[in-house]
C-alpha cells in the first residue's frame, strides 16, 4: 500500500546558509530530487534552484520523511560533503514514533537490506544478498501503545530506519509501505523526522551541528 502522490505546498525552512552550503528542513511529502514523470519534477532541489542556481544534492530523505538536509552550492563542496557521508563521518539522529513498546530502553538492529524487486520501492532484509545495515535506537518516551525513539543510522540504506523498525517488531506509525493497519491508521503522515545533523564544514574544517524541532 502507498499514499497517492502529491507534492506538499509547505514552505521550505532554511535553517542555515552561507556561500558554500545550505541546511534546510524538508517538509514531508516533498521529494528530495525529481522522480519519474512530469508530476514528480517539483521537488526540494528544484524549488531551491531559483534562489541557488548551482545547488547540488548531497543526500536524500524519503518523500514522506521530514527534517534536516544539507545541500552544496558548488562542486568542490559537494565532493567534500559526499565523501563525509560515504565514509560515515556525518552524525545523524532521527525522531520516530513506533507502534508498541520495545522490551529494553535501547538497542541495535544489524540486518542486511536490499531492494524488494517485486514490490518496489519496498526494501527487505536479505542475509544472502543484502548490504550491511546498522541502526542504533533509544527510547525517548512512551505513551499508551506507541513509543518515541531516537534513531541513529550508522549506514544509510534506502528505507533503512523503516525496515529495521519493522524487523524489530515496532513499525513506524503512519508508514504506508511497512506498517500494519493498526500502526498505519494512528497518523496521517509517516512519523519520522531528521532532527540532528553534524558534519565538518568544507571551508572552515570545523564541526558544525544543526537541530530541527520535531513537528509531531
Q: Write out the catalytic residue numbers.
A: 62
DSSP string, the chain: --PPP----PPPEEEEE-SSEEEEEEPTT--SS--SSGGG---HHHHHTTT-TT-EE-----TT-EEEEEEESSHHHHHHHHHHHHTT--EEEEEEEEES--SSSEEEEE--EEE-GGGTT-EEE-TTTPBP-EEEEEEEEEETTEEEEEEEESS--TTHHHHHHHHHT-PBTT-TTT--HHHHTT-SS--EEEEEEEEE-TTT--EEEEE-----
Amino acid at each position: 500500500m502507498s499514499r497517492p502522490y502529491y507534492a506538499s505546498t509547505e514552505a521550505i525552512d532554511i535553517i542555515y546558509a552561507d556561500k558554500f552550503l545550505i541546511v534546510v528542513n524538508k517538509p514531508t511529502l516533498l521529494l528530495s530530487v525529481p522522480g519519474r514523470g512530469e508530476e514528480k519534477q517539483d521537488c526540494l532541489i528544484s524549488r531551491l534552484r531559483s534562489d541557488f542556481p548551482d545547488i547540488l544534492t548531497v543526500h536524500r530523505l524519503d518523500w514522506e520523511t521530514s527534517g534536516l538536509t544539507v545541500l552544496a552550492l558548488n562542486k568542490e563542496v559537494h565532493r567534500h560533503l559526499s565523501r563525509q557521508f560515504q565514509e560515515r563521518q556525518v552524525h545523524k539522529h532521527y525522531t520516530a514514533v513506533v507502534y508498541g513498546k520495545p522490551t529494553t530502553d535501547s538497542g541495535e538492529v544489524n540486518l542486511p537490506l536490499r531492494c524488494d524487486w517485486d514490490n518496489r520501492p519496498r526494501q527487505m532484509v536479505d542475509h544472502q544478498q543484502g548490504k550491511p545495515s546498522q541502526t542504533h535506537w533509544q527510547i525517548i518516551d512512551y505513551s499508551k501503545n506507541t513509543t518515541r525513539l531516537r534513531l541513529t543510522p550508522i549506514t544509510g540504506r534506502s528505507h533503512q530506519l523503516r525496515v529495521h523498525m519493522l524487523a524489530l517488531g515496532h513499525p513506524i506509525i503512519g508508514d504506508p509501505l511497512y506498517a500494519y493497519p493498526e500502526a498505519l491508521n494512528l497518523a496521517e503522515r509517516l512519523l519520522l523526522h531528521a532532527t540532528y545533523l553534524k558534519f565538518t564544514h568544507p571551508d572552515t574544517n570545523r564541526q558544525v551541528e544543526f537541530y530541527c524541532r520535531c513537528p509531531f
